[in-house]
Amino acid sequence: MAEYKLLLEHSDDTAYRTLDGYRKKGGYKALEKAVKMERQAIIDEVKASGLRGRGGAGFPTWIKWNGLPKEKVGKKHYVVCNADEGEPGTFKDKQLMEETPFLLVEGMTIAGFATQGDAGFIYIRGEFIDAAKALRAAIDEAYAAGLLGKNILGSGRDFDLYIHMGAGSYECGEESALMSSLMGERGMPRLKFPHAPLPTISGLWDSPTLINNVETYTCVPFIVNKGGEWYQTLGAATKNSRGTKIFSVSGHVNKPGNYEIEFGTTLNELLEMSGGMKGGKLKACVPGGSSVPIIDAEMCGRAVLGYEEMSDVKSMVGSGGCMFLNEHTCIVSFIWRTAMFYAQESCGKCTPCREGTKWMLQIMERIVAGNGQPGDKELLLEVCSQIDGRSFCGLGDAAAWPVAAAIRVFPEEFDYFIANGKSMVKSSKDLMLVP
Amino acid sequence: MATVAATDTVNIVINDVDLQVPKGELVVEAVKRLGHEIPIFCYHPRMKPVGMCRMCLVEVGFKQPDGSVRKMPKPQAGCTLPVSEGMVIYTDTEMVHRDRKGVLEFLLINHPLDCPVCDRGGECPLQNNTIFYGPSTSRYIDIKRHAPKAFPLSEYVTLDLERCIQCGRCVRFTEEISGDAQLAFRFRGAAMQPSTFKLTDFDSKFSGNVIEICPVGALTSSKYRFRARPWDLETSEGLCLECGNGCNVWLDHRAAKLVRVNGRTNEAINEEWTCDKGKFGHDYYNSSKRLTQPLRREGDRFVPVSWGEAYAEIAAHLGAKSAALVGSTVSNEGLFCLQKLFKDGFGSENIDHRWTRTLPAAGERVAKRHESSIASLEHKKTVLVFGADLANSQPIVHLRVRKGWFLNETRVVVAHSQTTDADSFANLLLSCKPGSLDDLAMGLERAVAEAQKTDVQGFASFKDTEKTTSVKESALREVAAMLLEGNASIVCTASIYNENKPVETLAALAKIAAATGAEFNVYAEGGNDEGAMALGVMTGRNTHEILQDCAMGDLNALWLVGADPLTLHPSRRLAEDALEAVPFLVYQGLLECEAMGYASIVLPMEAPGEHDGTYTNIEGRVQRMQQAVKNPGDGKPAWRVFSELLVRIKPGRPSFSAKEIMDEIAATHPAFAEATYDKLEKEGTPLKPVIENFYM
């Protein structure tokens, strides 16, 4: 299958970033439609579309939307957009916010209508200054045109939208940590269901809160406009993945960048779109952002991009940060760099992640420094198993998966490095990703 | 009703044992019902669970309709998981043991394992859990995290960062319990560390508690560091007499010397906390200034004398024209014997223990002193703190009031002319001009009267009240409305007697309480002040009159019992004149002090923990403290001195033990009827409310 441009259709058109240009291409038709719809009808439309969270977990979006109280009980409802795109290898939200900001604004406004949201917050990664500027301009325009604020489109309903810049923490992309950070607390994850109520019941300031990824919200105008029935025809070849997904292709490819595809496209097709491999044959691929398990070339050959389909190759769609690595890449060094990232980004709250990520890094460090000890590979696997599923939030799991998967898929590279003190890949010295 | 109970409990299974537990109880608490234990570090029953350390991971499943159990894929933190219907909990499976081992291995990789030189060694949760659940060896061969070994967070708390396991107990304590938010985590990941803001002083009135709740030896007491190993310590149940709250403490002593004070759980009073005064303010026990033997003035120096010589001297000089002034740490028994000595031995009634600026004339009555127990304050709907700086004068009451505010939505109103720690969380602050508390009370009385539509004639107008106090009419009306909603408590302390027109203020507050149905409290301040009031240690001339009489030469002798008028009395000049003029001064005390310089006879006194005795706290709870440590010299408990002296003057049967005296008190004072040593309860026995009115 070829590229399917839905969200990114007008991304090259600079006029699309202004309200006029956006409206000319059919923008805000969805909101005009939505204000006339029953709240539940919007949610039902999202349900029919089969839209799943694009942040990485793939949780059915409508369940979140449906989870907020139908009648307000004295508390405000909040709509939060997770734009703290920090997963290494992923840069789709950045482009969406910079080039199609109105899609996000419109999508969040519709979400606000569907869930009786009083205010929306876009939590943007601190480094995304251009994205924040683009959104600021879009929000200002929307306010001026009566598309945000009081009595939107004469519906009698209000919705305010705020931008909040993060301060540089990967952990704040975790939804509960994001909410802590948004409330001015230290960016640490909070208790989650069943240990605490769901955010849809008690989230931001203990109020019902809807939180979705940027890409998820940008899908909403299309779903409302063209109907959930239409949307769910996209990706119908897959088991349970509907619509389009933007993959951020990077690594040793000729044309790195964001590629929007229909679910069901194969990984090979994605590689072709991005111009094929550069500098050597395909060796491995991290298909969904640095935290998902790495797969080798053989697996790449049969990988189909879909939430369930990817588990056939023991990996995940994740956030869509697809990194292709050529034959000159030293997997051990690659994993060392990944481990360094997670050791730096662990918030420190829980023991397994705080101590385990650092220990893994120390082991990886001594291996790449040529001081690997016999048994280090097994020790790494042990440490991974002591983190995986034991940590407070997903960061621990995300730190353990790539290491465990790399050892599973490329055990010989680890054995060679530990035994010989140098990489199995001859030219890896040049390509080693030095921090 | 059975049906109600069924909805309030859930059926769960713990390690194959069926159990009914209250709905919403945490797994870590539920397993205790079976006598099982889930190891913990970060969890503390008095603080909100966070699930940080992951030590409490257990396997959890749910019963399916077909009777099978579906386990959750990941292990769950028992400290944060509330039980629900059909939950099946496993605390003893292979996976659980493996997870515990894993967490302990992680915690130990960066822990210095300097147990042999660690204060906590021997009473350390990390040691204990490692021995029970941990790996026997470490697979860690890299370089451990290093940090300064002894970083002084404050004068009292020293932080050893290397030992810290980042459980966050200390941070949460300052956020949730003490409320001063002095500690927070800084940095992240493996570098995360508890710290004060910008490493400024750990400025808290409750900092000592974090030392006790620290599950490792990271937060240590600067005063106790390296003073003893836990297994060398003997411990005794003690009481703190730094203020009148009557906190229960452990007195840890080594070789008969007090080295450490820790909080002892008493749910009725201090739960398990102490304030820093109580925890660190025990230097005097081992002070080099302790008086160790009776002294007699000879010219310009003191010479040691025997107790017998001292008694003879005192007996020769004290008579009807003598008086005694008492401090706040004398036991009920001591006070009773003093009364007896003066009345029966010297024929004088001039005894007083009050040191405030205004001493209401005998006959002025304040009906209510402690209607609210300390524990009940956390369940009040409204607490009006009137003219009291609780965090300073009654720290544990302050914690209770804050607990109510933090957990039970108690509305706290603070009315004071000074800033207090409670201002930070008060729902409403009545900040009045200095010296205008009386006007404020009367303004409040008017607001209550208006709300109840009763006669307001004779009251100052709200406008005038605002002029004198700067408190607005709307605020007064709001407080009145809050009080009228019921379940309220008005809290004052004896410090109100240092303000303008205390009698009128208290009368107005009493009327407000009566009109709104609020409970009214005027808590005593000193250690056993409440006991002194209950025993009526304020007969004859009062403190001011006694000092004036001394200064005028109307009294021949003055006995200071653990009290130094130069520091206690509001007028130092009067105190100086009195001590200068009085012909014969007996100073009985713990330490050398300025007043001692005027004394003719000096008697060493035993500190409270050095003898048996009972003390009455602010809520009228009589508690007993047994002897914990030995007196360093030849000191005697106050009661014994009075009793022995009385026998010399008026031969009879002396009292041999504190128990005997308490029986006598119980027989003569109806309020103490239930407070004999045989009947005293573990948490202390409240005074019987038989006497309604006391002279303040």
Q: Would you call A346 and B57 a contact, using CB atoms and an 8 Å cutoff?
A: no
Domain spanning B9-105: which CATH class is it, in words?
A: alpha beta
A202 inside domain: yes
Query: Which chain B residue is nearest to residue A188, measuring alpha carbons?
Result: B188
Chain B CB contacts of A373 below 8 Å: 141
Chain B CB contacts of A191 below 8 Å: 49-51, 80
Query: pLDDT averaged over chain B?
Result: 92
pLDDT digits (tens, 9 = 90+) for B675-686: 999 988 888 888
pLDDT at B81 exceeding the cut of 60: yes
pLDDT at B3 exceeding the cut of 80: no
For residue A78, give Cα distances in angstroms to A61, A65, A164, A177.
Answer: 16, 11, 14, 16
Chain B CB contacts of A196 below 8 Å: 80
Are residues A316 and A347 located together in one domain of the fold? no
First to last CA, chain A: 37
Are residues A318 and A257 located together in one domain of the fold? yes
Q: Would you call A389 and B110 a contact, using CB atoms and an 8 Å cutoff?
A: no
Q: B359 and chain A: CB distance < 8 Å anywhere? A: no
A4 inside domain: no
Chain A CB contacts of B166 below 8 Å: 348, 351, 354
A6 inside domain: no
Strand, coil or helix: B168: coil
Q: B165 and chain A: CB distance < 8 Å anywhere? A: yes
pLDDT of residue B581: 95
Interface probe for A, chosen from B85, B88, B103, B188 (most Cβ of A below 10 Å), is B188
Interface probe for B, chosen from A351, A359, A386, A418 (most Cβ of B below 10 Å), is A351
Q: Would you call B75 and A389 a contact, using CB atoms and an 8 Å cutoff?
A: yes
Angle, alpha carbons A323-A329-A332 (nearest 5°):
95
pLDDT digits (tens, 9 = 90+) for B292-309: 999 999 998 999 999 999
Query: Which chain B residue is nearest to residue A342, measuring alpha carbons?
Result: B189
Report DSSP state, residue B321: T
Are residues A255 and A129 located together in one domain of the fold? no
pLDDT of residue B590: 94
Last residue of a domain, one of A202, A232, A262: A232
Q: Would you call A350 and B73 a contact, using CB atoms and an 8 Å cutoff?
A: no
Say which of A355, A385, A392 has its CB closest to residue B110: A355
A3 inside domain: no
Are residues A75 and A177 located together in one domain of the fold? yes
pLDDT of residue B602: 97
Residues β-bridged to residue A249: A257, A322
Percent of chain A with pLDDT over 90: 91
Last residue of a domain, one of A326, A341, A356: A326
Residues β-bridged to residue A251: A324
pLDDT of residue B694: 45
Question: How many other C-beta atoms lie within 10 A of the C-beta of residue B530?
Answer: 29
pLDDT of residue B690: 52
Interface probe for B, chosen from A355, A378, A385, A393 (most Cβ of B below 10 Å), is A355
Are residues A282 and A146 located together in one domain of the fold? no
Chain A CB contacts of B105 below 8 Å: 386
Separation between Cα atoms, residue B628 and residue B617, nearest integer Å: 20
Separation between Cα atoms, residue B412 and residue B425, nearest integer Å: 8
Are residues A343 and A206 located together in one domain of the fold? no
Contact A50, A59 (CB under 8 A): no
pLDDT of residue B667: 93
Question: Nearest CA to CA, how far is B208 from chain A (Å)?
Answer: 24
Interface probe for A, chosen from B26, B42, B139 (most Cβ of A below 10 Å), is B139
Contact A107, A217 (CB under 8 A): yes
Nearest to B645 by CA among B324, B300, B331: B324
Separation between Cα atoms, residue B211 and residue B163, nearest integer Å: 13
Q: Would you call A386 and B102 a contact, using CB atoms and an 8 Å cutoff?
A: yes
Query: pLDDT averaged over chain A?
Result: 93
> Going by C-beta distance under 8 Å and a sequence separation of 6 or more, which residues neighbour residue B439?
B432, B460, B465, B468, B469
What range defines the domain where residue A198 resides? 14-232
pLDDT of residue A431: 47
Query: Which chain A residue is nearest to residue B102, measuring alpha carbons?
Result: A386
The CATH number for A95's domain is 3.40.50.11540
Are residues A356 and A249 located together in one domain of the fold? no
pLDDT of residue A214: 96
pLDDT at A433 exceeding the cut of 90: no
Separation between Cα atoms, residue A426 and residue A411, nearest integer Å: 17
Contact B194, B167 (CB under 8 A): no
Query: Which chain B residue is nearest to residue A191, measuring alpha carbons?
Result: B50
Are residues A76 and A218 located together in one domain of the fold? yes
Are residues A198 and A257 located together in one domain of the fold? no
For the domain made up of B295-361+530-694, give the CATH fold. Rossmann fold (3.40.50)
For residue A194, give Cα distances in angstroms to B24, B115, B268.
Answer: 11, 38, 33
pLDDT band of A429, cuts 50, 70, 90: low
Say which of A354, A366, A379 has its CB closest to residue B166: A354
Are residues A150 and A28 located together in one domain of the fold? yes
- Residue range B585-597: average pLDDT? 94
The CATH number for A309's domain is 3.10.20.600
Q: B162 and chain A: CB distance < 8 Å anywhere? A: no
Are residues A156 and A208 located together in one domain of the fold? yes
Are residues A53 and A152 located together in one domain of the fold? yes
pLDDT of residue B52: 94
- Total domain count for chain A? 3
pLDDT digits (tens, 9 = 90+) for B453-512: 988 888 889 999 999 999 999 999 999 999 999 999 999 998 999 999 998 999 899 999
pLDDT digits (tens, 9 = 90+) for B182-215: 999 999 999 999 999 888 999 999 999 999 999 9
pLDDT of residue B540: 87
pLDDT at A435 exceeding the cut of 50: no
pLDDT band of B370, cuts 50, 70, 90: confident
- Residue range B516-526: average pLDDT? 91
pLDDT digits (tens, 9 = 90+) for A19-52: 999 999 999 999 999 999 999 999 999 999 999 9
pLDDT of residue B539: 86
pLDDT at B695 exceeding the cut of 50: no
Question: Nearest CA to CA, how far is A348 from chain B (Å)?
Answer: 4
Report DSSP state, residue B584: E
Q: Would you call B188 and A169 a contact, using CB atoms and an 8 Å cutoff?
A: yes
Q: What does the CA dihedral B671, B674, B678, B679 come to, rounded to 10 degrees?
A: -140
DSSP B429-481: EEE--TT-HHHHHHHHHHHHHHHTT---TTSPPHHHHHHHH---HHHHHHHHH
- In CATH, what number does B109-221 get? 3.30.70.20
pLDDT of residue A265: 94
pLDDT at A411 exceeding the cut of 50: yes
Choose the weakest-confidence range: A99-108, A361-370, B534-543.
Answer: B534-543
Q: How do the domains of chain B map onto residue ranges?
A: 9-105, 109-221, 295-361+530-694, 365-527
Helices A351-368 and A394-409: angle between axes, nearest 10 degrees: 30
pLDDT at B646 exceeding the cut of 70: yes
> Going by C-beta distance under 8 Å and a sequence separation of 6 or more, which residues neighbour residue B678?
none
Last residue of a domain, one of A232, A264, A280: A232
Chain A CB contacts of B141 below 8 Å: 373
For residue B117, give Cα distances in angstroms to A283, B112, B149, B153, B224.
Answer: 54, 11, 12, 20, 13
CB proximity under 8 Å: B 98-157 to A: 99, 102-103, 105-107, 109-110, 139-143
pLDDT band of B2, cuts 50, 70, 90: very low
Separation between Cα atoms, residue B115 and residue B111, nearest integer Å: 10
pLDDT band of B536, cuts 50, 70, 90: confident
> Quick check: do B9-105 and B365-527 share a fold?
no
pLDDT of residue B689: 62
Report DSSP state, residue B33: G
As its CATH architecture, domain B365-527 has 3-Layer(aba) Sandwich (3.40)
pLDDT at B323 exceeding the cut of 60: yes
Question: How many other C-beta atoms lie within 10 A of the C-beta of residue B673?
Answer: 16
- Residue range A252-256: average pLDDT? 94
Separation between Cα atoms, residue B585 and residue A320, nearest integer Å: 89
pLDDT at A132 exceeding the cut of 90: yes
The CATH number for A391's domain is 1.20.1440.230
Give the total residue count for chain B.
696
**Chain A residues whose C-beta sits inside 8 Å of any chain B C-beta:** 169, 171, 186, 191, 194-196, 343-352, 354-359, 362-363, 366, 373, 379, 382, 385-386, 389-392
Separation between Cα atoms, residue A3 and residue A260, nearest integer Å: 6
Q: Would you call B106 and A351 a contact, using CB atoms and an 8 Å cutoff?
A: yes
What stretches of B567-683 adopt beta strand conformation (E)? Answer: 584-589, 601-604, 613-616, 621-625
Indicate the pTM of the whole model.
0.93
Chain B CB contacts of A171 below 8 Å: 188
pLDDT at B18 exceeding the cut of 50: yes
pLDDT of residue B31: 94
